[in-house]
C-alpha cells in the first residue's frame, strides 16, 4: 500500500525538466516502509502485545528467545 502512495505522489511532483527519477522514489518508499515498521513495533510495545497475525512479533520473538535461554519468567517482558 505505501509503495503505491509514494509512487503516485512521486509521479505528481516529478521534475518538469528532468522528468521522473525512479531511484529517488525507491529511496523514499524504503524510508516510508521503515517508518511504518517502526510504528508497528512501537504500537506492539505500547499495547504489550507479543503476537501479530498469529505469530510472535519482535518483542514476542525476543521474549521466547530469552525464555529458551533460561531467563526468569518475570524478566521476559524486559527482554521483549
- pLDDT at res. 21: 73
Per-residue pLDDT tens digits for 7-58: 777 777 777 787 777 777 778 888 888 998 899 888 888 888 888 889 888 8
pTM above 0.85, yes or no: no
Q: What is the 3-state composition of the chain as percent helix, strand, coil, each rounded to the nearest 5? A: 70, 10, 25
pLDDT band at 80 (very low <50, low <70, confident <90, very high): low
Contact by Cβ (8 Å): 6, 23:
no
- pLDDT at res. 5: 75
Across 64-77, average pLDDT: 84
Give me the residue spans of the domains in the chain: 1-47, 49-80
Amino acid at each position: 500500500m505505501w509503495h503505491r502512495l509514494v509512487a503516485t505522489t512521486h509521479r505528481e511532483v516529478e521534475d518538469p525538466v528532468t522528468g521522473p527519477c525512479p531511484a529517488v522514489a525507491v529511496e523514499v518508499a524504503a524510508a516510508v516502509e521503515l517508518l511504518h515498521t517502526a510504528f508497528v513495533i512501537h504500537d506492539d510495545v505500547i499495547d504489550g502485545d507479543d503476537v501479530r497475525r498469529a505469530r510472535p512479533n519482535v518483542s514476542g520473538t525476543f521474549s521466547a528467545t530469552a525464555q529458551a535461554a533460561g531467563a526468569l519468567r518475570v524478566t521476559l517482558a524486559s527482554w521483549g
